[in-house]
Structure 1
């Protein structure tokens, strides 16, 4: 019976099926991608690091650390730091990451260069490997020279890739690899220079790296060094991409939810039209279970076939994700097909379709044989308890599935709650609109306009579900556009003339006046002269840091105990700071207590509050201080911010270096300033913030591609739900149109009534979505980004008319039968 009835309604059932296919395809493709990503990371873990484990230190290793390093006999080592380099051929300068390498690194994977052979010969020949993109930018070729500090080296070849680097990190500071023996000759490792010493090891497969890490990590931690194994590093990398996968999974899940809501609404009308036939079956002796199973089998079949088709489509489109995320992946992703996500897709199709169709399906259970004589809007209603039980089951399933995706109960609860609230707002706005139309009905409008408005709250209307379907897709993609505009506006604000866009680091005390003169000679302002003093914490609240490191029950975050703080001193707050607690101390006189100001994140992580004592080790000299105030710091602002700020009158005589900032109007001026400064002061490092802004914009573009891709599923699912919903109510609308023709309405009037109705639906759905996106983006701008919100016009000029026209086209296609045929012919055909 289920098969026979399905054959008679195959077009409508296919539309139900199409509602969930895209959602299943999205979930399966992302599940496959996430599984492939994890497998690739595990399989290529050694290639990603280039070694089995690494010991690294942010300073010259201490005696204790060096003893541990030497006892393990490193197979290769390097020192790396960020610095400026110059190309004598054309005078160009660039901020790069210099890596002084010695030994046969990498042990796994390869250094890819052009020519290929120089990857193995550059250390012996004494040449430099320069990032390939950097060479193109400055038109450099193998054989040309590169100036690193006081040293000029020949370029041995172009560096295309090396284990341990990513596209994003190399965009800011491209790598330049030189032999380790030349590092001293560069004269770049001066006081205050940021540097990292790394020692690479290759071990036998029998060595237990986890045991080695557990044994050595505490000892190295005491010596301000760190140990990373290829397994622990790739676990961190996996967790980072796992978060991306969770976000994409949730976005796909929303598309699936949208399709399921479409199924619930369409099945509701479908079953309603079958109630009379079900009542007749019961008059002929069919049991409740039989009538229920007839339609349950149909919906379950839709779920199985839809899940299978969606899974196959998901297999086809998962290959797009490596392309969309290639800028964020440090390796080439190898795609393989696995059974688990496909099985999940099929099961998800069955469970979701049956679960969301269960409420209308239950009406078949409660149909009375007497309903064959009286089928109306309020007949065959299921008990309220049953309805609440079904709703509760749906929410529990959504929570459990979200928990499986996110692996965090609180986040899963927040996601389900947020989704329910969003759907409720969309449905509430649609219901409110219907009530407002009823309450303030425009009685003086023309007949066709009034009739089209009446259609929005006729029996079997789809107004609410259409507004939810259209509104959610529009909401997702509009929020993306608005949020991207907020972030881009933020970078534009940072680039105004009053803000610095050039930062000059590592200026030694004896160079201060000369560097300032070089800047002002070009008629550029010196906006800030910021002194920097490096120090470490010696004790917190009377407890030595070394003792805290050994305390496994401590609540203080580990980074506090090992961090080398770069502090400054000044007499006033900056625009990016706000005093939260305590009193700001601008200056301190001799023999007075030293009251410092700390950032709120440092106060939280170090468990410090106003009045607590802190002792710093300032290059071997212990300095007692007291926390005088706590500041809120806007770290998002692209300027120098500090965790610890001293008052004036304390650190002036301490070993220090300086940072200058200036503003350059154009790229040519920036290039000239950088070239002249590097030529005169090779040790200084120059950061052009415009390049950072460009990188931010590029990352935003990449992220927007990914989110657009997911929003596409929601939009397309919404369109399919729209088609299904409109087509499902086709028969009700046809009867109304036939009745109007019988009463004398012309084709033009019927066409106009239908057109206006669909225009109202399209406008309402897209406008509700955009209004919700405006509200959410405004909240993001005010409470997250602290920026003014200027919305983009793209959603208004593209989505509103585009979606409205789409709804109009789908709707008008439904009444062609009426317009082409006589009323009697249509009624006979539909009958």
Structure 2
């Protein structure tokens, strides 16, 4: 007990003298702990709110959905309340502006939502639009886009509706879904009158149920599930929606926690670097303690206690800051959240953050602290005496293994499966390894090849990068990785946008007209040609389902063991196919061959997209029985195609030969290209005015929408990456302050030897310029590597080097480094050497 008291007393006594330096050590982990606590608290609150607001998410106790009218169900008589909805994608026109847009039309009957509400302005419009008149609720984003006001009209198909309310929120609706598919609500009584529900339209029928309060809905629906699956009816209960939504946002929370973990690892590098400098300064003091008879273990424990105290303080500060930051996160993620998140302190997250911060402070400080155990008493007499070879210390390797296990274990806790955790650990190790190699190589090259012909300030500033107690490698690792995250985000975002800029590519169409009925095809083509636009493709489309695969239907397939089952998606999906005997530009034959049907008795060989076939287990020669509008049709898999779905074309998973489906019910797609956005808008509005049932995809509008979505996503990722950048800057600041004494001695020596203040200022500025340049260029180099790998192996598109964006990032990071360095050293440079020495 006396020994422990003495160690604690010595640690506190030394702490009073070095508290500023020790506080700087732990400042590196504050942001990382704050990010971790904020994300975990946000995740806990979100999970609680999804659980408590699950009924508001669904708006009912049970929802049945099908692409055919659902028909009478036994459950109808058991329900306390029922509501019906028919929803489909369609063009709506705003007569006031003469413009139109593709939206999601929802025709509603009944008092849905039973839980929660349609939030509208004015508030009474949520109920008033169902009073039997031709009234509509229009999504706020649409109202803003077309400068529409309450009281204006909107045309849905053949019917004009009065806009009686601006829709702000609906059950399960988020800002992103509103951007992609804005909603217009109309009364069910006018759904047929619009003329939009006809063959080829993607129509979903939904029935909403509300049961008595104590009804166990999951048990209630079990007897009907097999029949619903046979009828392709999807059933969604509150528990189903809760699990699905919770799983989706659990994945988001885990991803954000990984980003916070990277920021924390950057702080760990800063801690290790700062403790390394601190230990080097303390070696003479350690040698004195050894001469006085203090054991190497007790000496080690004195400084370990200091780090433990500072780690605890830093963790508590980080947890407090993280608790405050969580109040901002619901606003940051507002466009992605289906529920309103309540903010409250999550003590479990706070406790986890404090313990994590304390643990990593000790773990990453151990590497440099272990040197203290090897300090000989001889260092009191010989300041140049070498510490025993640290690389031979077995404890060093044990700590390094512990660090790797910690990274793997933490990522395993956040990711599904050890493979992903191992991949993340390898990525982190690789990233730090690359940055360490870059820093080491640069320092070696400067020391080896520094030209004597350079001016003195440049030579001195470059030499400072490898002087004793330099922080070059640690700063390149921390600032470089933060820069890499931001850079990769920008580069990938720009490449994604480049790939979807269809409207600017001369050989690519930019307008698609679909849901065209057979008797309208010639008129639509004539209208397009009248405006001077080419008809680049006119494609018939037939809808069908798959009944059997090699003689096995859906129910028989479901009875097989999981490993032997075919993908259920084959039986459950509705296929939209076309027929032709040739390939188009976006396709190429991968296996087999295209077979023609020349007489009525010929076998029918179809062609599958190769990727889809591999995912679902379809093989060449498989016998498939399709249900074409109630008529069974036996086919065989004759070939696989590689389909470029990124190319603007009518691309299909399944291709039939000609002379088979010509008499089947079908609709058509016409593709063209406009020269200007104004011409595209004019043609779109005229087609919609003449043919209300036809929908138009204007790829220029899609690009604008995608840019808006990517900007929202990138804002979230930038916000998270900001933690890494701020951590890197804190490490930079602490490194500059920690090495201030070393720089002070160098500046005094230079001033004593006759160097003027401007010369010393130039040396320091150039050193920070080189340091910032190396850190930012290393990060940009790593981001180029990441971008290339993602482009080739994930997105499968050509690599584009974003030189302009890289230059901007380089300038910003370098400027921050120079400014911080200048602020840190300005007092030293402006004072006479004697005044500093006396101080």
TM bucket (normalised to shorter chain) is over 0.9
Report whether the alignment pairs 1:569 with 2:550.
no
Partner of 2:210: 202
Structure 2: unaligned runs, 5 residues or longer = 1-9
Partner of 1:92: 99
CA deviations 1:305-334 (Å, max 9, x no partner) are 111111111122222222222221233322
Q: Distance in 1 between matches of 2:44 and 2:78?
A: 36
SS of alignment partner, residue 529 of structure 1: strand
Kept in 2, the 8 Å contact 1:406–1:412? The answer is yes
3-state SS of paired residue (2:520): helix
1:249 to 237, 253, 257: 257
In the alignment, which of 446, 449, 454 is matched to residue 445 of structure 1? 454
Q: Does 1:715 pair with 2:725? A: yes
Distance, in Å, in 1 between the alignment partners of 2:63 and 2:672 is: 39
Distance in 2 between residues matched to 1:479 and 1:587, nearest whole Å: 51
In the alignment, does 2:406 pair up with 1:406?
A: no
Give the counterpart of 2:684 among 653, 674, 680: 674
Once the two structures are superposed, the pairs formed by residues 469-508 of structure 1 within 5 Å of their partners are 469-493=478-502, 495-508=504-517
CA distance 1:506–1:817, shift in 2 (3 Å): closer
Cα offset, 1:793, TM superposition: 4.7
Which of these residues, 622, 629, 634, is aligned with residue 632 of structure 2? 622
Runs of 4+ aligned residues of structure 1 deviating over 6 Å after TM superposition are none
- 1:347-393 CA distance string (max 9 Å, x none): 12111111100111112223222332334474144443211110000
Query: Which range moves more in the overlay, 420-429 or 155-164?
Result: 155-164
Whether the 8 Å contact between 2:139 and 2:184 is mirrored in structure 1 is: no
Task: Pick the aligned partner of 2:376 from 352, 355, 368.
Answer: 368
SS of alignment partner, residue 333 of structure 1: coil
Q: Does the CA-based 8 Å contact 1:304-1:350 persist in structure 2?
A: yes
Conserved 8 A contact 1:560-1:605: no
Q: Which moved more, 1:294-303 or 1:125-134?
A: 125-134
Q: 1:141 to 1:266 in 2, by over 3 A?
A: closer
Q: What do the CA deviations read for 1:148-167 (whole angstroms, capped 9, x no partner)?
A: 32334444433333223333
Alignment of 1:732-771 (within 5 A): 732-771=742-781
Match of 1:527, SS state, is strand
Residue 123 (structure 1) aligns with:
130
Matches within 5 A, 1:336-735: 336-376=344-384, 378-382=386-390, 383-493=392-502, 495-551=504-560, 553=562, 554-585=564-595, 589-735=599-745
User: What is the deviation of 1:780?
Assistant: 2.7
Q: Is the partner of 2:650 in helix, strand or coil?
A: coil
Question: Which residue of the partner structure matches residue 328 of structure 2?
Answer: 320
Cα offset for 1:186? Answer: 2.4
- Which 5+ residue runs of structure 1 have no aligned equivalent? none
- The 2-side partners of 1:811 and 1:350 are apart by 30
Q: Work out the CA distance in 2 between the residues paired with 1:109 and 1:135.
A: 23
1:772 match: 782
1:19-57 CA deviation, whole Å, 9 max, x = no partner? 111111111111111112111111111111110111111
Cα offset, 1:196, TM superposition: 0.9
User: SS in structure 2 opposite 1:123?
Assistant: coil
Which of 799-808 and 641-650 deviates more?
799-808
Quote the Cα distance in structure 2 between the aligned partners of 1:117 and 1:215: 40
> Is 2:59 the counterpart of 1:50?
yes
Asked if structure 2 preserves the Cα contact closer than 8 Å seen for 1:15 and 1:724, the reply is yes
- Please tell me whether residue 111 in structure 1 is matched to residue 121 in structure 2: no
Deviation at 1:238, TM superposition (A): 2.0
Once the 2 structures are TM-superposed, how far is the Cα of residue 479 of structure 1 from its aligned partner? 1.2
Q: Secondary structure at the match of 1:159?
A: strand
1:226-247 C-alpha deviation (Å, 9 max, x unpaired)? 1101221132122222222222
Give a deviation string over 1:107-149, Cα, whole Å, max 9, x none: 1011223333332233333232231433454454555444332
In structure 2, the CA distance between the partners of 1:434 and 1:545, relative to structure 1 (3 Å rule), is: same
Where 2:429 maps in the other structure, the secondary structure is helix
- Sort the Cα spacing of 1:45 and 1:307 in 2 relative to 1 into closer, same or farther, 3 A: same
Residue 271 of structure 1 aligns with which residue?
Answer: 279
Partner of 2:3: none
Aligned pair partner of 2:312 in 279, 298, 304 = 304
CA distance in 2, matches of 1:90, 1:453: 64
Give yes or no for contact 1:52–1:202 (8 Å, CA) kept in 2. Answer: yes
Q: Give the Cα separation in 1 of the matches to 2:753 and 2:747.
A: 10
**Residues 107-186 of structure 1 aligned to structure 2 (within 5 Å):** 107-133=114-140, 134-186=142-194
Secondary structure of the residue aligned to 2:313 is: helix
Assess if the C-alpha contact under 8 Å between 1:485 and 1:791 holds in 2. Answer: no
Check conservation: 1:82, 1:97, Cα contact below 8 A: yes
TM-score where L is the length of structure 1 = 0.94
Shift in CA distance, 104/729, structure 1 to aligned 2, threshold 3 Å: same
The CA distance in 2 between the partners of 1:666 and 1:21, in whole Å, is: 53
Deviation at 1:265, TM superposition (A): 0.9
Which whole-Å CA distance do the structure 2 matches of 1:445 and 1:145 have between them?
75
Report the 3-state secondary structure (helix = DSSP H, G, I; strand = E; otherwise coil) of the residue aligned with 1:327.
Answer: helix
SS of 1:715's equivalent in the other structure is: helix
Distance 2:746 2:643 in 1: 65
The reply to whether residue 24 of structure 1 matches residue 33 of structure 2 is yes
Is the 2:443–2:465 Cα contact (8 Å) retained in structure 1?
Answer: yes
Structure 1 SS opposite 2:191: helix
Change (3 A) 1:605 1:792: closer
User: Structure 1's 163 and 227: CA in aligned 2 closer, same or farther, altered over 3 A?
Assistant: same
Name the CA shift for 1:605/1:469 in 2 (closer, same or farther; >3 Å): closer
Give CA deviations for 1:694-713 in whole Å, capped at 9, x if unaligned.
11101111111112112221
Match of 1:227 in 2: 235
- Distance in 2 of aligned mates of 1:525 and 1:821: 77
Distance 1:128 1:319 in 2: 39
Offset of residue 263 of structure 1 = 0.9
Tell me the alpha carbon deviations over residues 753-808 of structure 1, each in whole angstroms, 9 at most, x when there is no partner.
33332222111111111122122223333343344444445544433233333333
Moved more, 224-233 or 200-209: 200-209
Farther off after superposition, 343-352 or 582-591:
582-591
1:258 equivalent to 2:253? Answer: no
Number of equivalent positions:
826
1:387-433: CA deviations, max 9, x gaps? 11100001111111112222432212111110110000000011111
* CA gap 1:794/1:325 in 2 versus in 1, 3 angstroms: farther
